[in-house]
Chain A
Amino acid sequence: MGIFTSLGQLEEAIPLIERKGAKVRTVYSPIDCREILQKVGVRKTSPVRFATLLGGLAGLSLGVGFAIYTFLEWKFVTSGKPTPPAVPLVVVGFEMTILFGFLSTLLCMLFLCGLPRLRGSQGYDPRFSKDRFGLLLECDRAQREEIEISLEQAGAEEVRVLRTRETSQ
């Protein structure tokens, strides 16, 4: 685990340690760090978008479908308007699309982020939410010294060694 004071330094450290054969497990950051996702081998955009689309479509069909059902069930004719009326149902459909799309995005995001997280991981340092960036990596015992040196070369403020059993993700 290397602790850095800037994301730029952490970013530079990644190729260094990867060359020595270590693998990046997690990057901890107090700010949005999506710029470095590519370096860690993860795509920048997230699959929550699919939840959004599905949720939105579900909301639209549920909302409009349910409203139409109620009109057909009980023909309550007001002002001579047709039952079911197409024009006002646009509003119903719109609101339900937004509601369901939003909720499904929310739930999908929470699920993918692993929240709510009941147990803390011991790799986590409370300073990571304030002003420090953490690079948690995995390597063999043999390379440990080399990796430590690489991290310090890249500008790590602190290097910590954690045994495999202690980290959980």
Chain B
Amino acid sequence: MKDWQASTPKSYSEVQEMILGALSPPGRSYWGAVILCLFGLLYGASCWAYQILTGMGVAGINHPVNWGIYLVNFVFWVGIAHSGTLISAILYLLRARWRTSIARAAEAMTVFAVMIAGLFPFIHLGRVWIFYWIIPYPNQRDLWPNFQSPLVFDFLAISTYLTVSSMFWYMGMLPDLAALRDQSTGLKRRIYGIFSLGWQGTHIQWRHYGTAYLLFAAFATPLVISVHSVVSWDFALSIVPGWHSTIFAPYFVAGAIHSGLAMVLTLLIPMRGLLGLQPLINVGTLESIAKTMVLTGLIVGYSYGVEYFMAWYSGNMFEWDTFIWRAFGHYAPQFWVMVVCNVAGPLLFLIKAIRTNLIWLFAVGIIVNIGMWYERFVIIVGSMSHEYVPHAWGVYSPSWVELSIMLGSFSMFLFLFLLFCKFVPPVSVFEMKEHLWTHGKA
């Protein structure tokens, strides 16, 4: 993954060729990777089918840990989704220039991550065929879902997030799909033509599109905060020690952005190399991501510290005991992995040499991903296994079915992302051209 000396494009056509050139017919190794991911996906799906046919007993969840790694994965994937929207919507509102080259890929990551996250409540549900009971519809038993429940908030928030982020991503692509249509022939032209909805780039269209895009970004921003706050409230609104804490909403949002940025680094560093996009997604952009991770890592570290301090300060023996057990009990290894990876890892980025080095960036991205997965594990499983009554304490281990489904989810994510890279412009073409224009090169 060496940084090529490829020159920065200096004209619109160069930008377009560089980005759309990445969509050229892929080689065998690409298809090999896609097939591999497809196998992983199918393996995970078949394990899920096995679980549906056999029953939830094949998963490791039992008393007292009723929420296992299905929900760990749910929170993990929702968290990953948030960075994409942060980059494409929030940084757009803040007029941060470094956002432009990575926004499209980050949004794609969001859409796929939300889709996968949305699967996990179904997987965890067991009796998948009754999922529709959470939808409010008039029924012969005169029942309604309890709008007071955080699980119903979840249903509303995740479906809103999925709708909004996929539409935001798609709308952002319209001018680029039109560009693809115009330079393709035959079937490709027809398909891109349909998806580009006949976009022509007239001044009237740009007028409405520009205003609407700003409004989309303005909606997506509070959505990011609210969705992960809602997910955090799945836990905070209970009275489980270690869960019932007011800091959960901002803590989870910061953690989500932290893990999402790490995933952006993990995905984008290989992508830019393999697709030849180095001049567009330059090291300066990656450095900005790294610097933001220092901030989110500090917030996460602050939250860990505050929770520990308050557990002691409150004088609540259950709370304090849970936190001691987290650090020194059965799940202590996971806890320490979490602390070291999430807090110490990003602090390496304070050193300029590290945050401008591709290998270190990639490595710390992986480290933080692992750390953040373990954080969700420690919070969810760690608290449930050590609640108020000592006789009700118990330990949980994920079964092979759960781990297979988790593997399936990662494969699905990679599968979708690989397809994205080759069929849709991975960098926003028209926004990169605008970059050139405002830099006075046109």
Do A and B touch directly, given a CB cutoff of 8 Å in the complex? Answer: yes
A42 touches B203 (CB 8 A): yes
A73 to B11 CA separation, bound complex (whole angstroms): 63
For chain A, the count of residues having a C-beta within 8 Å of the partner chain is 67
A71 touches B197 (CB 8 A): no
Q: Which of B189-231 contact A (CB under 8 A)?
A: 197-212, 215-216, 219, 222-223, 226, 230
Quick one: closest B residue to A132, CB to CB?
A: B12
Asked if A160 is an interface residue, CB under 8 A from chain B, the answer is no
Asked if B54 is an interface residue, CB under 8 A from chain A, the answer is no
Quick one: closest A residue to B195, CB to CB?
A: A116
B201 touches A76 (CB 8 A): no
- Majority secondary structure, B binding face: helix
| Shortest Cβ distance from residue A93 to the other chain B in the assembled complex, whole angstroms | 10
Residues of B within 8 A of A114 (CB): 198, 204-205
Using an 8 Å CB-CB cutoff, how does the interface string of A29-50 with B read, 1 for contact, 0 for none?
A: 1111110110010111110110
Residues of A within 8 A of B209 (CB): 32, 109, 113
A7 to B433 CA separation, bound complex (whole angstroms): 12
Quick one: closest B residue to A73, CB to CB?
A: B144
A85 to B174 CA separation, bound complex (whole angstroms): 43
Asked if B175 is an interface residue, CB under 8 A from chain A, the answer is yes
Asked if B153 is an interface residue, CB under 8 A from chain A, the answer is yes
Asked if A96 is an interface residue, CB under 8 A from chain B, the answer is yes
Asked if B143 is an interface residue, CB under 8 A from chain A, the answer is yes
A73 touches B164 (CB 8 A): no
B202 touches A28 (CB 8 A): yes
For chain B, the count of residues having a C-beta within 8 Å of the partner chain is 58
A8 to B438 CA separation, bound complex (whole angstroms): 11
Asked if B18 is an interface residue, CB under 8 A from chain A, the answer is no
| Shortest Cβ distance from residue B140 to the other chain A in the assembled complex, whole angstroms | 13
A110 touches B210 (CB 8 A): no
Residues of A within 8 A of B171 (CB): 106, 109
Residues of A within 8 A of B145 (CB): 70
Q: A46-B210, A112-B204 are in contact. List 12 more A-B contacts (CB 8 A).
A: A26-B204, A30-B430, A34-B207, A42-B204, A52-B219, A88-B153, A91-B157, A91-B230, A117-B200, A129-B175, A130-B179, A131-B433
